[in-house]
């Protein structure tokens, strides 16, 4: 066998890199109505599950740090999707909570997962298997990396 590992074609990370960006592009028209980006959509998904969340908790959930989240959350606050306020118990923490507009956006977004899947020509089972493989890969990096 002995494939050339220096070839782009043989690199798993390039496949990940390219596929992720193409998938993100598929979201763009679906998120246009809500006037949000894909990372902002992820913040909303997290908050629709648990509201409110600290910046720290949001970062752990999305694998993002405050350097990314702080400016993004400020933009979302300006759009009146979320609000930010210091925690009473721990003044270091900033809580991120949904506004009424942010809560209502969930209804508008309810169709997005299905619409997105329509663009992917793969069986439900295959997608599930892919997701599981990726999650295992992701968990594996926690040992080496320095992620919370």
Partner DNA sequence: TGTATTTTAATTGTGCACAATTAAATAGTA
Partner DNA sequence: TACTATTTAATTGTGCACAATTAAAATACA
Min separation Cβ 115 and a second copy, Å: 11
Counting contacts by CB under 8 A, is residue 20 touching a second copy?
yes
Among the listed ranges 5-13, 76-84, 86-94, 96-104, the one in contact with a second copy (CB under 8 A) is 5-13
H or E element in which residue 3 lies = none
Which residues make beta-bridge pairs with 129?
none
Annotate 75-113 with b (16+ C-beta within 10 A) or e (fewer). ebeeeebbeeeeeeeeeeebbbebeeebeebeeebeebe
Min separation Cβ 80 and a second copy, Å: 21
Query: Which value, in Å, is the radius of gyration of the alpha carbons in the chain?
Result: 18
Residue 23 binding target from DNA, a second copy, none, CB below 5 to 8 Å by type: a second copy
Among the listed ranges 87-95, 106-114, 122-130, 132-140, the one in contact with DNA (CB under 7 A) is 87-95
Helix intervals (H) in 50-123 = 55-62, 66-78, 100-109, 112-118
When binding is defined by CB under 8 A, the residue of 86, 101, 108, 134 that contacts a second copy is 134
Burial class (CB in 10 A: 0-12, 13-18, 19+), 54: middle
Counting contacts by CB under 8 A, is residue 104 touching a second copy?
no
Contact residues for a second copy, defined by CB under 8 A:
5-8, 10-27, 38, 42, 45-46, 48-49, 61-63, 106, 109-110, 113-114, 116, 119-122, 126-127, 130-131, 133-138, 140-141, 144-145, 147
């Amino acid at each position: 066998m002995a494939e050339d590992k220096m070839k782009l074609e043989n690199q798993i990370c390039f496949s990940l890199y390219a596929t992720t960006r193409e998938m993100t592009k598929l979201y763009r028209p679906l998120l246009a109505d809500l006037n949000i980006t894909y990372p902002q959509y992820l913040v909303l998904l997290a908050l629709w599950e648990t509201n409110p969340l600290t910046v720290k908790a949001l970062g752990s959930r999305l694998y993002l740090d405050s350097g990314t989240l702080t400016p993004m959350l400020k933009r979302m606050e300006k759009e009146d999707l979320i609000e930010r306020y210091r925690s009473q118990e721990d003044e270091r923490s900033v809580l991120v909570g949904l506004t009424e507009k942010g809560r209502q956006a969930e209804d508008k977004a309810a169709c997005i997962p299905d619409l997105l899947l329509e663009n992917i020509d793969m069986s439900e089972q295959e997608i599930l298997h892919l997701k599981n493989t990726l999650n295992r890969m992701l968990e594996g990096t926690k040992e080496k990396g320095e992620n919370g």
